[in-house]
Amino acid sequence: MAKVYFMNDRSQSLETSLVAKTTTLFDKAEFGKMINPGDVVAIKLHMGEYNNTAYIRPVYISALVEKVKSLGGNPMVVDTTTLPYSPFASRATALDHLNTIARNGFTQGVLGCPVVIADGYIGTDDMNIDLPEGFILKEQYIASAIGLADCMIMVSHFKGHPMGTYGGAIKNTGVGCASKRGKLNLHLGGHPTYGLKNRPWHDQLCTAKECPTWELCDNVCPVHAIKVLDTGATFDREKCIGCLSCVGVAGVCGVAGFPDDYFDVTAAAIADSALAAVKAIGGPEKVGYINLALDISPWCDCVNFSDRPIVPNLGIFASKDPVAIDLACLQKATESGGMPDSIAMAKGVMDPGLPKLTACGSMMGISEFIQPNVGAKIGLGSKEYELEEVPPLEDPQPFLFTEVPPGIKLAKTFTKKGDIYPEGGFKAEKEVDIEDMR
């Protein structure tokens, strides 16, 4: 039975701060046993799309970088290029990605180690992984810098997701470790049954060049599978690679649809891809998972906005099993009440005991259990787990910024400055009538 360690999100002291809980769980889950002196340690997370605000804060990662360094590891914070899944995606090249995440606070100076876009400038620096055990994918492409690392700490923001229904350890591993061509693969690009080239195309709905966004539609496809003529929009099925760039344009107006079961099978492919990433890095003993179930927005950090959370903060989870840790988060979300005036209220899933992610995350109401069910089927992890709540450390010393008290640090400088406190004190009324102010 898999072990999942958990700490809630309440904080009343330095040692119960969320950053302290993150490193406490790192130790409790014994992630340090993966790291030998000199090992290259990939710390993988999603650092947020341009203008997204729900992504994991850099301070959590800085603390983990310090932890890895203390064990003799050589850390790098990694992510991969994205598909152009929207007309204005901000991380489709390494250059765009680095500019975006620097705006979000992720730089070497902040983190204490380099940030590496693990699949190179355009997303083709990768390793081909044979996947005979895959549910649908029989091969996958994993970013080279991840596959070549000695071990990996997977730090995931648990939240909703429009295609995977939820994003957690499986999604961050499966999608986040895949190169760009790996993402084309797991999003079923070119698949003979489920690929977007098989989508329904309702050209009769297109108003052609009378449409105010026709020029965007005409220029959104990187392989020019879509062209807008005077008579309407045409779709060259054989050219389509399934990059999703057109979904926010032709998909919104209803001209472009999706093949049957596209979202369900994509969720399954995410789990296949996660197994490929684990295989690439050397097996399950080389990966540790931390899920931050905080700011649980209905959609993922790859959209350029962040809606109100659908449930209150749940806490922080750690495990060596990606299936178990995701199921623990899903269970806690189900047990929680919904957030007032969030999409959970609009979808009618406010009561504890109602699944939240299928209703609030998925565009198409896809089951939130596809990822973990497929993960268990293919050997990625186990659906049987024990959830252990971990008490905070009683000693604040490991989390101190400094061990030098102010009497030592400031006494000499106060004396040298001389005028830190004005002679006779600060000007103020001797007494005031505060009652009226209450």
pLDDT of residue 363: 83
Secondary structure of residue 2 in the 3-state scheme: strand
pLDDT of residue 411: 93
State the pLDDT at residue 251: 86
Q: What is the C-alpha to C-alpha distance for residues 261 and 350, in angstroms, rounded to an integer?
A: 28
DSSP string spanning 33-90?
GG--TT-EEEEE-----TT---SPPHHHHHHHHHHHHHTT-EEEEEE------STT-S
| Mean pLDDT per 10-residue interval, the chain, length 438 residues | 97 97 98 98 97 97 98 98 93 98 98 98 98 98 98 98 95 98 96 96 92 94 94 94 92 92 97 98 98 97 95 98 98 98 97 97 92 98 98 93 93 92 92 94
Query: For tokens 């209450």, what's the residue?
Result: 438
Q: How far apart are CA 116 and CA 108, in angstroms?
A: 10
Cα dihedral angle (288, 289, 292, 297), rounded to 10 degrees?
Answer: 150
Residue 206 backbone phi and psi in degrees, to 5? -80, 130
DSSP-assigned letter for residue 28 = H
Q: Please, which residues have CB within 8 angstroms of residue 413's CB and are 6 or more apart in sequence?
A: none
Q: What is the pTM of this model?
A: 0.95
**CATH numbers and ranges of domains, the chain:** 2-189+261-389 (3.40.50), 200-258 (3.30.70.20)
